[in-house]
Amino acid sequence: MDNKEIELRVRNIINKIRPYLQHDGGDVEFVRFQDGIVYVKMLGACVGCASIDLTLKDGIEAILLEDVPGVVGVELVDL
């Protein structure tokens, strides 16, 4: 699977996750995929939330690691 295919799968999964975050006033935005790492930006109520690490690692990262070969982690970026 090449990087474009991985990025497409990552974007599709993130788009499926977004409504759950939006329901609680938050959101997630795909930034880039580089060297096995998915970089995302958290928005809305997710910014500064005490559960951000849980959402990022046990939620988004766990799903992506399971469903997308080539993904080795998820990192938060501030733009």
**Architecture in CATH for domain 3-76:** 2-Layer Sandwich (3.30)
Rounded to an integer, the average pLDDT of 37-58 is: 92
- Look at residue 1 and tell me whether its pLDDT is greater than 90: no
Rounded to an integer, the average pLDDT of 50-72 is: 93
- Look at residue 79 and tell me whether its pLDDT is greater than 80: no
* The pLDDT value given to residue 29: 96
Residue 26 · residue 46 · CB < 8 Å:
yes
- Look at residue 48 and tell me whether its pLDDT is greater than 90: no
Rounded to an integer, the average pLDDT of 26-35 is: 96
